[in-house]
C-alpha cells in the first residue's frame, strides 16, 4: 500500500503517508476495522524515522479516521468512507483549480489539459512519483 511514497519529493513524508491512507479509505481499499501496518514495519520498509510514521498515524487519529488499541495496533474507524471521500474530493478539486489556473497563465488551452488528463487516467502513474528529474529540480514547492 505504501509503494508510492517518494522520499525525494517536496511533499513531506508524513503527509504522503496520511494521504495514502485517506485515499485508500476513500476508494474502499481500506474499510472499517482494517488494521494498519505497524509503525515499526512501515518505518523499516521505507527506511524512515519511526517518529514520522507515528506522526502520520496520530494525525489520522486526530482527524477521526483511525483509532488505536494499545498493544493491538491501529484500526480504521467505522463510517469514515463517505467523510473521507468528501474531504479528499474537495482537496483534489482545490488542486485541480490551482493547476488549471497555472496552465491558463502559461498559455495552455482547454483541449490541451483535457488531452493530458485523459492520458493520465489511462496510464498508471502514482502520486508523488517524481516527474522528469529536471523538472523536479526547477519545481520548488
Q: What residue ranges bind DNA (CB under 7 A)?
A: 12-15, 36, 38-41, 48-49, 51-52, 54-55, 57-58, 61, 68-74, 140-141
Q: φ, ψ for residue 69 (rounded to 5)?
A: -115, 115
Q: Which is nearer to DNA, 2 or 54 (CB)?
A: 54
CB of 10 to DNA, least distance (A): 9
Q: Which is nearer to a second copy, 41 or 139 (CB)?
A: 139
CB of 80 to a second copy, least distance (A): 9
Is 24 in contact with 59 (CB distance < 8 Å)?
A: no
CB of 41 to a second copy, least distance (A): 20
- Contacted entry of a second copy, DNA, none for residue 23, CB cut-off 5 to 8 Å set by kind: a second copy
d(CA 70, CA 61): 13
Strands (E), 21-120: 66-69, 73-76
CB of 13 to DNA, least distance (A): 3
- Contacted entry of a second copy, DNA, none for residue 36, CB cut-off 5 to 8 Å set by kind: DNA
Q: Which is nearer to a second copy, 41 or 116 (CB)?
A: 116
| DSSP three-state, residue 69 | strand
d(CA 40, CA 99): 36
- Long-range pairs of 60-65 with CB within 8 A, sequence gap ≥ 24: 60/18, 60/21, 60/22, 65/21, 65/22, 65/25
Q: Which is nearer to DNA, 61 or 87 (CB)?
A: 61
Amino acid at each position: 500500500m505504501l509503494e508510492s511514497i517518494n522520499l525525494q519529493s517536496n511533499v513531506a513524508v508524513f503527509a504522503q503517508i496520511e494521504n495514502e491512507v485517506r485515499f485508500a479509505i476513500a476508494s474502499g481499499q481500506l474499510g472499517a476495522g482494517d488494521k494498519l501496518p505497524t509503525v515499526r514495519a512501515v518505518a523499516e520498509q521505507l527506511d524512515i524515522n519511526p517518529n514520522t510514521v507515528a506522526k502520520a498515524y496520530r494525525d489520522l487519529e486526530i482527524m477521526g479516521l483511525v483509532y488505536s488499541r494499545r498493544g493491538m495496533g491501529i484500526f480504521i474507524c467505522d463510517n469514515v468512507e463517505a467523510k473521507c471521500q468528501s474531504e479528499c474530493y474537495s482537496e483534489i478539486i482545490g488542486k485541480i483549480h490551482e493547476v488549471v489556473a497555472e496552465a491558463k497563465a502559461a498559455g495552455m488551452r482547454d483541449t490541451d489539459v483535457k488531452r493530458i488528463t485523459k492520458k493520465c487516467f489511462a496510464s498508471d502513474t502514482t502520486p508523488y512519483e517524481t516527474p522528469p528529474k529536471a523538472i523536479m529540480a526547477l519545481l520548488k514547492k
